[in-house]
Structure 1
């Protein structure tokens, strides 16, 4: 997606005042981050800001800032870039939601074919040309059925599966992005001689994006867009948009073919008139269904309200749940009995599912929930983008608080204000990932922790596979109650959470985050979920940076004679209890329900097997440390 940053009033004003210079840098779309990231470097009097928005534009932009208020200018630039990207996303999704009815609702396959590229170039205006290919089973070739911005003889450029870029995309079902003429040439490595000759006579584009066109699991063809401008490039966001268009085109084309076949059959066979009328009615209902869902999902209501509207309009009962923890049930839904399922996918990854039961009108229900899944998937992509932008703002707000910077007053501080007492929590990446997607897992875990908290005055965001929570309250008692609630939620959701100490000075935010991170890493190293305060790390304060395997090896070396032979496990339990009771023979014997003489005999046996003296301070320190670590990593001795 092409972006014109100088059209933003803030950037245009800075550029005109010569306080800012900018240049775009090409970026590989495959490795682009889904968030807008940036880095800052000062060279002499100039501040260089590199902003990576390549997920949406396949570009990064370098800003050279010659301004005395460099930090403020940097913040303005970042906000302007975010605004520009959000504007692109909003405009694109609005156009996706209103794709011309000539493509989506037409029953004429020729009309669909000739209007496809017009709609594609409307949604992706930075495209200079495009070609829509369909696979001809009789000849075995992918045939261009329509093209824009290309020579007329392009109609004769037919390719086989696995040949050229389009053939490879059709054969594998995987989309392809190639930016740069040399990359495009290299991608055409498998070509027949006649196709190679045609390519050598043609102008090579500077950017190419190709996606498969599939319906009901069957590949129908490919949809390719080209950009000939020297700075043209396609991004991952462009690919997602084109895949969505291709899916709609495939449904419309497949539906039109079904209709045409039904009409042809009805003309040949008089007895099939009733079937044809039924098929026409089904098609009309499908068109009405799409329009009805489009009206519902074009409103500004939330997903729960939109699903309610679907249940009431079509008088169906169903259940919907997604990977972020949303669980919706219509009024009349019951979990009793068997149910059909419709999966909601985004870029082939399952993100939710519908459960429903069919009646006599089974075909309509399948179409209803199949189409509904497509709308929900688009809504999910939009919500994830909003959540990513909000997360970036919260992270920036935390960094501003840590730096002691005042709020700029232009927007809400995300419902958070600093009070007298503060505490920081850090949660490690979840033990199990949602749909194999770490990003979704972080969003899900953040939502679970926030739901379990008792303090509403908090700032939550995720960064680098961990969740950071800053909580502020007027009393320490309120923070202690909140800590217990987070501990319960972390245990329930199998999340490892570290907590800093409660502090008053606002400048301790970063230090407290580091302490909470150490505690979270210690808990994760033990392979446990729940919450660990930094002050309760004990000897593990000395083990920062050590691998779990190293710690286990240490305990095995010291306690091996007591652990390897099952007959000696009672000696290990006796030693652990003796250490736990502060070397008190009386309390240890009472706790183990044995005679003190038996205790002394067991301790002598421990010394013989381990080769270490309990009375020796150095030996006892090693034995005590090994027992404590073994209890932390393998299970505690019950008091």
Structure 2
């Protein structure tokens, strides 16, 4: 508001008593958005603008004057003055050019804020239900909210049996839309599904051409036209893929009946982001539906056979009891306690998501290590017996979610497993599997929330950061550091990556205690925000993380590399901490190193973390050429020079290291000076050579790793 007041005063000062209107334009054309109207009775026609005219130019309209101001980002402001002016001073035009630009920024900020609010509300809404039909309808309704210029839309999910994209949850279309089933690569929707590339159209002609360009079938062409009813021609459309990771499950398309605004790349990015979250909601709903159907099938089967077999009646009773225990939502341990009462043998439960044991009986200790249980169960998907070194007999019942091992029931046998026991284990394992999957889903949601909190901390300025830090109960003025751990996902089965991240995050929370204020996992990375009482504590944390990494590697677990930032006093350094931790990850990745190090451990190399490799190679070549050629004699000279620098220019130690006489060393050093055109006694030349040798040594070390 203060800016508008300033603009108003400036216009009054420079142009006198004149009414004015300020409008914002997008691309070429008459489309405009009025920002401020101090001449409501002006009745002006929409003004076209031309970005090729330069940053400022003037036009006349009737008895008024239009001043055009173009900006580098493609935006344009037009100032309509109600009086005719023959000319405007260049300094005035330039000043207007600068003071009007914040209006574009303010409008853009308001638009982004609204988009973000709508997106967040939409995400919450579509994730609030697990009923598939309801989720699909909610997705389309909110997609139209995310793109306010749109009027209608629908989803298309790929049906593997039909090998067609099937319309789902249409909004703004009649029943004919359900006949619009396209093959992969057919029409706009089929092509987007095939190549995963979003497409945008801003006219009816573009849409029709796009459909025919990808060989739409006549029957599908008729169906899509009939489905619009009396809505008329489509004036715009955006079609984006809907994918889970690398797997496409369908497409989403929105339509604009009447041109409200030209759809642009920003709309595509918004709809793509929304489609990514929608895919997660669809997958969760599909999984929930499949799980409910599976449980319902078990329940129906038990009911049908109840009268035929007493044992099957018992199965139903066991299932009902354990399901009711699960419904109480008191945790996994309550279900295991119930199973213990039914089996009446010593029972242990191994939670494969968190690598922990639970025993209902008192004073029971785990008879097997985590490594032993996982090794045995990974090799077997069915129940089996195992005997300890002391001759004790145990019965193992592994629990899988698909192909992923998530837990195991272990019984210390004092008698044979009865049929009732077997029924209890089967039913109990199903309930426990659901509990574990729900816990894993809850953990993902929790990590996502922690991630959002962390991103807020990174995005806030110092004042907001302090307020938000206090809101999260963080000691704003304390010692802070950031740790980023990256798992070797390419060496691991991606199906297990989520579980390994879950396990490691849980262990870090346990072992680091109150020091870990924020911990979240995202894909193959875990980030930690550490609060320390003393800066020196960071060295203990480094040792502890390396111990965890070594244990994981020795037990064939998932190895990881890690970066620990410097410790800073004050939460305002969180961005610096985060950048340092990620720079370490880049440094370790480039050297294929699996260890956890501090930022200070990088030493001199930190100066070159963000330096292009080409620049470093060029510097080495310019400084050490011709020593770096393939000539064997020059290679010996290069090794001698690197050793001389490494031995701190000690002739005796250098000669000993490269196994030559000291006189030979002096001859070589003289030859090197002549070849490189340097004086090794000159401080400037020496600094340049020392730096080049250091970089060359690092370069040779990396080449050795690659080989």
Once residues 379 and 127 of structure 1 are traced to their aligned partners in structure 2, the CA distance between those partners, rounded to angstroms, is 22
Deviation by residue 1:388-417 (Cα, 9 ceiling, x = unmatched): 33323323433444424268799973x643
The reply to whether residue 524 of structure 1 matches residue 589 of structure 2 is yes
Alignment of 1:373-392 (within 5 A): 373-392=429-448
Q: 1:513 aligns with which of 565, 575, 578?
A: 578
Q: For residues 295 and 647 of structure 2, what CA distance do their matches in structure 1 show?
A: 71
**Match in the other structure for 1:287:** 316
Change (3 A) 1:488 1:361: closer
**TM-score, length of structure 1 as denominator length:** 0.54
Residues 640, 658 of structure 2: 8 Å contact kept: no
Indicate if the aligned counterparts of 2:482 and 2:528 stay in contact, CA closer than 8 A. yes
How far apart in 1 are the matches of 2:287 and 2:551? Answer: 35
Contact 2:565–2:578, Cα closer than 8 Å, also in 1: yes
Query: Do structure 1's residue 424 and structure 2's residue 499 form an aligned pair?
Result: no
Corresponding residue SS for 1:235: helix
1:475–1:287 Cα change, 3 Å:
same
1:299 aligned partner: 328
Q: Which of 336, 348, 352 pairs up with 1:322?
A: 352
* Residues 573, 238 of structure 1: alpha-carbon distance in 2 compared, 3 angstrom cutoff: same
1:445 matches 2:510: no
Rg (Cα) greater in structure: 2
Q: Which of 613, 636, 647 is 1:581 aligned to?
A: 647
1:235 aligns with 2:294: no
The separation in 1 between residues aligned to 2:294 and 2:106, in whole angstroms, is 43
- Residue 352 of structure 1 and its aligned partner are, at CA, apart by 0.8
Instruction: Report Cα offsets for 1:58-96 as digits up to 9, x if no partner.
Output: xxx837xxxxxxxxxxxxx76x974x677x45xx6xxxx
Cα distance in 2, alignment partners of residues 500 and 408 from structure 1 = 24
Q: Is the 8 A contact 2:482 2:529 kept in 1?
A: yes
Structure 1 Cα separation of the partners of residues 329 and 702 of structure 2 = 51
Q: Distance in 2 between matches of 1:581 and 1:349?
A: 56
Q: Structure 1 residues 523, 126: CA separation in 2 closer, same or farther (over 3 Å shift)?
A: closer
Instruction: Give distance in 2, aligned partners of 1:612 and 1:282.
Output: 94
Offset at residue 456 of structure 1 (A): 2.7
CA distance change for structure 1 residues 342 and 457 in 2, over 3 Å: closer, same or farther? Answer: closer
Matches within 5 A, 1:199-598: 235-253=282-300, 259=305, 280-304=309-333, 306-314=335-343, 315=345, 317-328=347-358, 331=364, 334-335=367-368, 336-337=386-387, 340-345=396-401, 348-354=402-408, 356=410, 360-361=416-417, 363-402=419-458, 403=460, 404-405=463-464, 413=472, 416-431=474-489, 432-433=491-492, 436-453=495-512, 456=515, 458-463=517-522, 465-493=524-552, 494-537=559-602, 538-539=604-605, 541-544=607-610, 578-588=644-654, 592=657, 597=662
- Deviation of the 1:517 alpha carbon: 1.0
Aligned 8 A contact 1:434 1:441 in 2: no
Aligned with residue 694 of structure 2, among 598, 602, 624: 624
SS at match of 1:453: helix
Aligned counterpart, 1:5: none
Higher RCO (Cα < 8 Å, 6 or more apart): 1
| Structure 1 pair 456–620 and aligned structure 2 pair: CA distance change class (3 A) | closer
Q: Residue 118 of structure 2: SS of its match in structure 1?
A: strand
* Residue 62 of structure 1: aligned partner: 118
2:397/2:410 contact within 8 Å kept: yes
Q: Give, in whole Å, the separation in 2 of the partners of 1:584 and 1:394.
A: 54
Gaps of 5+ in 1: 1-39, 52-60, 64-76, 93-122, 130-164, 191-195, 205-231, 264-275
Distance 1:466 1:502, change over 3 A: same
Partner of 2:569, secondary structure, is coil
- Find the aligned partners of 1:326 and 1:558 in 2 and give their Cα distance: 57
Instruction: Describe the shift of the 1:449–1:183 C-alpha distance in structure 2 as closer, same or farther (beyond 3 A).
Output: farther
CA distance in 2 between counterparts of 1:561 and 1:410 reads 55
Deviations 1:598-639 (A, max 9, x none): 98399679979x99999575566434322134346757xxxx
CA RMSD across the alignment: 5.5
Query: For 1:294-320, what per-residue CA distance to the aligned partner results, in whole angstroms no more than 9, with x for missing partners?
Result: 133233433345434433542253552
Which is worse superposed, 612-621 or 301-310?
612-621
CA-to-aligned-CA distance 1:421-466 (integer Å, 9 cap, x gap): 2112222344444652544443333334444436535222245753
Could you tell me which residue of structure 1 aligns to residue 179 of structure 2? 185
Correspondence list, 1:79-118, <5 A: 82=124, 88=128
SS in 2 for 1:381: helix
Give the stretch that moved more between structures: 496-505 or 41-50: 41-50
Question: What is the TM-score normalised by the length of structure 2?
Answer: 0.49
